[in-house]
Every structure is written in structure tokens, then in C-alpha cells.
A and B are shown apart, each in its own frame.
Chain A
């Protein structure tokens, strides 16, 4: 499945909070990324949308960083949740609880959007910790639903 810009732009959250629909490169920069391989692609900055919510319960939630829509040739559209871990210096600090919470809370946030969530959750790491993080996340989260990618791999796999 590949990135679908139209579906992303027309996601209920994007329509309700258009200012949080942001350029993916800009989101990467804010997350500490050193490379920006995208051009005009946009995604919903879920973290910001959550922080600016009027609802205090939502504010305190611990969500994934970014949401974008992907689709296949049959026009099946799914929401892809992405978490940036570009500032992670030590793979030992990967916390199973934190990651599970992020996934759970993100699903609560997106409940009612009418768009199903993709069964893989993307965690983006820098190249120097990619393989170790992949192993640790895979072991700690048990199921193969967590996909650990570099920025470049993320672009190649989903765009």
C-alpha cells in the first residue's frame, strides 16, 4: 500500500484541524531528523493535534507522532501511524510499555474516523541504531506489528 495524499488531506482530523496537516519534511525536522527526502507530501501531526486539543483527557494521551493515509489499487484506504525515534541514543531505552501505550492511545484518538488503521505501526530510527532497535522492538512487542524503518526505508516502502 502506498501513500495517498488526497485521502490524507481529507481525513476527518485534517479537515477539523487543517493547521496540523503539515509537510512531512517539516515534521521530520522537528523530530530531529537530519535528512528530508520528501517534497510536497503532507501528514497529520498527531502529536500536535493532541496537544492542542481542548479535551484534557486527550492532552494527556500518549499518541504516535504522525498519521497519513495509504491505499492500494482497489482503493482500500487505511490510516498509517508513525512514531519518530530519531533522538534515541541507546536502544536499551526502548520501553515496551511506552510503545504499547502509544499504539493503544492512538487507536482511541482515531476511533470514529471511519477509516481502519493499518495493522503495522511504523517506528522510525536513525541508521546507526536501526537493526538493534528492530530486534529489541520485535522481541519486546512480541507480535510482528511493529515495523522499524529508517527515513529512507519509510519513503521506499510507503511512497
Chain B
């Protein structure tokens, strides 16, 4: 059973990929020409692992979206209640709720990040009771006042139609009745969410994959296995938890580091990477060989996130300090690794997906980057999927890994055109000869212009 790979992704007829069966047992390098589908493999793997890890948060977020209209109703209602309280000093004194502000309560209630859903459900239902009681306690003469009556009627009518599809003549009841019925809706939505957390339905992943790619894709044309077991279990319609991976990052460009308002780009993996770079944490192995290579040999300094000023700062060995945003792009590539290393993100349960990491790097730094990748796997068992079409990167990983690692932890794949615009991915294990067959077409092109005399 020891030959069963840690992770395996199988893809068939997905964008430019005709067939791929890629295993990850440490460092996996996928090579191929532009447009052969390398990034699609990365994105499928990343999005699946990320969805599996964040599954409960995603369910909570979806629930929050579903309850958006109810929250809107409560926001409106609380605003009205606040207005009524403010206007009616006598009533305030009667209820003793002089400092109560409904407006603050509602926004907190529907914030679902990292919370216990059951606790949140109870809070929302209690809040609805508070609203109902507060409304019931309003003096009758107050409710009959024309000025307030019209305001409440607007709310009542609009939300009856919104939630229950009932017209003006079908009297459901007034606001307390609506609130009771909303409670039923809320309970049902929470029940669905609890079931989703328990059953982990794969449709949630399918929807995410569908959104992630800009054109129509066949969302179920791939599967991921971990230690021989299906994580994307389509027969059981379930997306399981990964046991060997609990952190994942997808890095397709270093230029996003330090860019303000990354959320406005609508590129999800950039937002997610930005959050990882800003996460708080400390690496207990900060004085390691890797740390020294980065700090002393390569970038000759240290890059950090300054949370007080929300900027990334590069501090050179000679104490010169500069905003990382205006540094060389190659330096950003290494800074990114350094920050993730220093904040403790990189360990044996991390999957780092690197899309053409050699871009922006001088050939010498390409080799240094490859060296870091191999050492991160050797020292901390960080898992890598790397896309590349750079001869130096592929060659450096091959030869450095040969010296530093066990043979079976590195796998090379190359994309072979099966038909026009459609590629099969071939496992060449630790052999890069076939990959170079493709790379060398550039040499043939150069040679077309004639050899030069030595």
C-alpha cells in the first residue's frame, strides 16, 4: 500500500485537458506549452482543496446570503423601532430600554464568519422575539397614529409579499405574525445548513467550480483522491475532508503583494493569498537553513507585513527599508515565500500550488527558487504542485531533488498534444528528457537563423 499516492487528481475532457492523471507525493512538476491546461489543473486542485478545508465557512457564508432578505427586513424594522423609541420618551421610560439600539444588533447577528452556527441561530431567534415583544408593547394609541401607521404599513405590506407572496387582501397578520413566520424560515435555513455541514454535498463544490471558471465547464469531469480514497465522491455526492492537507495556497503571480483593495479585482485566489500573507503567526523554525538562504543569500534582508500601516515592507541587511510594492518583482517572489515561511503557513500539511514561479526571475534566482522548493519539502515536507515551461526551473528541480530527496517524491509530467487544442498529460516520473524535447523547439527556431562561427 506504500505506493498509493498522497494526492491524485484525475481529469477528463476539461477545457484543454483531454486526459490527466497526476499524482502528488511531494513535488510534482507539470510542463507544457501555453494553453495546454496546466493552470486548469492547478485551479481545479486548489479550488477543491480550499473548498474542502473551508467547507463549514462556505456553508455559513451561503446561509448568510440566503438570510440576506430577512436581515434587510430586520434592518428596516429596527430602524423603524429605533425611530419610534426615539420619538416617544414616555414609552422609552415605560419599557426601561433607554439605551437599546436595534440597529447595532441586526448587523452583528448576521455576520457568520468563524462562528458557532447554533449559537448564532439562537441569537437571531431571540432577537426576533425581542422585536416582537417590543412591537407588542407599543401603546395602541401609538400604533393608530397616522404618522407611524403609514410607515409600519409599508414594511408590513412589502415583506408579506416578499416572503409569503401574499397580496394586499390576504391578511397574514401584522408585524408580530410576520416575525413568527420568519422564525420558521430561519429555522429551516439553519436546519439545511446543519445538514450540509454533516453531509458535505458535492454540489457546493460544483457551484464554486462553475463560478471560478469564466466559461461553462463540466464540473464533474474530475476527481481527487487522497491515499487511495475518493475525496470528490460523486456516487455518495459528498466532498470529504482532506486528512493530509489543511492549508493551501495558489500563487500565480507575485505582483499582487502589497496591492491595495485586492478584493476589488474579483479574483478569489488573489484575495485568499492576500489574507494568508497578512495572517498572524510565527514559525518556530525561524533560524533554519531555509530562513538563512532567503535572508542572507537571496534577498539579503527580510520582508514583513506591517499590520499597523497595512503595508508590506522590505528591510535590507543595511537597514534600508522600502515598501515592497515598489520593489523588483523577482524580490516579491521570494518575499512571498519568506512571509509565508515566517508566519508559519508552510508545513507538512500545506499544499503550495505555484503557477510558473520562474516568471520575473533571473536564471540564477530560478535555480535558487528551485532549491528552496526542494529544501522546503526536504526539511518541512511541504507539498508542491508546480507548473513550468522554463528549462532552468525543470532542470534545477530535477538535479537538486536528485541530490537532496528520495526518488519517489518528485514526479514530472508533460502535456502532449492529443489533437488540436487538446492535451494528454504523461507521467515521466523523474525523467525530464521528454519535457526537454518540447522545450528544445525554441533552439530549433533559433537555429533557423543560422549558426555562428566559434
Contact = CB atoms under 8 A, between A and B. Distances in A.
B65 to A, nearest CB: 52
B433 interface: yes
A5 interface: no
Given A138-B443, A144-B443, A132 B451 contact: no
A74 interface: no
B392 to A, nearest CB: 8
Interface stretch (A9-17, A52-60, A65-73, A123-131): A123-131
A94 to B, nearest CB: 12
Contact of A143 (B434, B435, B452): B452
A89 interface: no
Contacts of A92: 399
B169 interface: no
B453 A135 contact: no
B308 interface: no
Given A92-B399, A144-B446, A131 B451 contact: no
A128 B450 CA distance: 26
A134 B447 contact: no
Residue of B391, B436, B439, B453 most packed against chain A (CB within 10 A): B436
A120 B451 CA distance: 7
A120 B446 CA distance: 14
Interface in A113-143: 119-121, 128-132, 134-136, 138-139, 141, 143
A123 to B, nearest CB: 13
Contacts of B178: none
A159 interface: no
B454 A144 contact: no
Contacts of B454: 100, 103-104, 119, 121, 141, 143, 145
Interface in B408-454: 432-437, 439-440, 443, 446-447, 450-454
B412 to A, nearest CB: 12
Contact of A145 (B440, B443, B453): B453
B395 interface: yes
A129 B446 CA distance: 21
A104 B453 CA distance: 12
A70 B259 CA distance: 61
A132 B436 contact: yes
A137 B451 CA distance: 14
A121 B453 CA distance: 10
A34 B452 CA distance: 32
A119 B432 CA distance: 29
Contacts of A120: 451
Nearest to A104: B454
Interface of B is mostly: helix
Nearest to B398: A132
A138 B445 CA distance: 13
Interface string A66-101: 000000000000000000000000001000000010
B38 to A, nearest CB: 19
Contacts of A135: 391, 395, 436, 439-440, 443
Contacts of B437: 131
A143 B440 contact: no
Contacts of B399: 92
Residue of B440, B443, B454 ringed by the most chain A CB atoms within 10 A: B454
A119 B440 contact: no
B451 to A, nearest CB: 4
A134 B434 CA distance: 12
A129 B433 contact: yes
Contacts of A103: 454
A49 to B, nearest CB: 22
B452 A134 contact: no
B433 A131 contact: yes
A119 B453 CA distance: 6
Contact of A131 (B436, B447, B450): B436
Contact of B443 (A104, A128, A132, A134): A134
A143 B451 contact: yes
Given A134-B440, A135-B391, A144 B451 contact: yes
B434 A144 contact: no
Indicate the member of A121, A135, A141 with the most B CB atoms within 10 Å: A135
A119 B433 contact: no
Given A92-B399, A144-B446, A144-B447, A131 B440 contact: yes
Nearest to B432: A132
B436 A145 contact: no
A141 B443 CA distance: 13
Contacts of A132: 395, 432-433, 436
23 contacts: A104-B454, A120-B451, A129-B433, A131-B433, A131-B434, A131-B435, A131-B436, A132-B432, A132-B436, A134-B440, A135-B391, A135-B395, A135-B439, A135-B440, A135-B443, A136-B395, A138-B440, A141-B454, A144-B443, A144-B451, A145-B451, A145-B453, A147-B451
Closest 10 CB pairs of A and B: A131-B436, A131-B437, A144-B451, A143-B452, A145-B451, A144-B447, A132-B436, A145-B454, A138-B443, A135-B436
Interface of A: 92, 100, 103-104, 119-121, 128-132, 134-136, 138-139, 141, 143-145, 147
Interface of B: 391, 395, 399, 432-437, 439-440, 443, 446-447, 450-454
Given A119-B452, A132-B395, 18 more contacts: A104-B454, A119-B453, A120-B451, A128-B433, A130-B433, A131-B440, A132-B432, A132-B433, A132-B436, A134-B443, A135-B440, A135-B443, A138-B440, A141-B454, A144-B443, A145-B451, A145-B453, A145-B454
